[in-house]
Amino acid sequence: MLRLSAPTDPAWVTQALDHLDELLLDHAHLEKKAAGTAVTLLFRYPERRVLQEPLARIAREELVHFEQVLAQLDRRGVPFRPLRPGPYAGRLHAAIRGQEPDRLLDTLLVAALIEARSCERLALLAAALPAVDERLAALYRELLEAEARHHGEYVRLALALFAEPEVRTRLQALARAEADALAAGAPAPRFHG
């Protein structure tokens, strides 16, 4: 079960299909960023034993996803290039509290919500894409399972380190912040925007 507070507007799928190559480029950067988030947490919290293997595994899987999306870019003839991040992640990270251990809890839950949104959108694209690009649709069907698992894993890690009522309350608040971050829009079509 994904713990999102609002579903994606169906208009996003139409927009995404109209700008598929740019969306795919954005997606490649997001997979790399997802690996970076897990690695950053490994370096920031070496004393939290419970985090180590799950985060190492997530980082590895996200790097494989990055390579898989790069292969799709090559197949579609889209050059890989730098892309300015959309405003979504910045808006969402602004909701993370600065003091430990609140910062750790919020960072795990924000990561969980980003994974959930990725999973939701990969499912929407996987359903819409077969008519456009069946091989990309097949990859997205595969990836959405992994992102659903990552979502559950980040929530599980939060529950391993913090009391359940605190996790639930914070997850609800951050899920609203996530929906607001999406609703505020983006200047260009983005995977999260």
Which residues are at the interface with Fe ion (CB under 5 A)?
31, 34, 62, 65, 115, 147, 150
Return the number of the residue (20 or 119) whose C-beta is nearest Fe ion. Answer: 119
Could you tell me the smallest distance in angstroms from the CB atom of residue 103 to Fe ion? 21
Could you tell me the smallest distance in angstroms from the CB atom of residue 121 to Fe ion? 12
Phi, psi dihedrals of residue 37, rounded to the nearest 5° = -60, -45
- The torsion region of residue 133 among left (phi > 0), alpha (psi -120 to 50) and beta comes to beta
Could you tell me the smallest distance in angstroms from the CB atom of residue 154 to Fe ion? 9
Return the number of the residue (115 or 133) whose C-beta is nearest Fe ion. Answer: 115
What contacts 53, CB < 8 A, 6 or more positions away? none
Return the number of the residue (100 or 142) whose C-beta is nearest Fe ion. Answer: 142
- From the CB of residue 153, how many other CB atoms can be counted at a distance below 10 Å? 19
Please report, for residues 15, 27, 100, 104, the alpha-carbon distance to residue 190 in angstroms, rounded to integers and kept in the order given: 9, 8, 32, 27
Return the number of the residue (34 or 95) whose C-beta is nearest Fe ion. Answer: 34
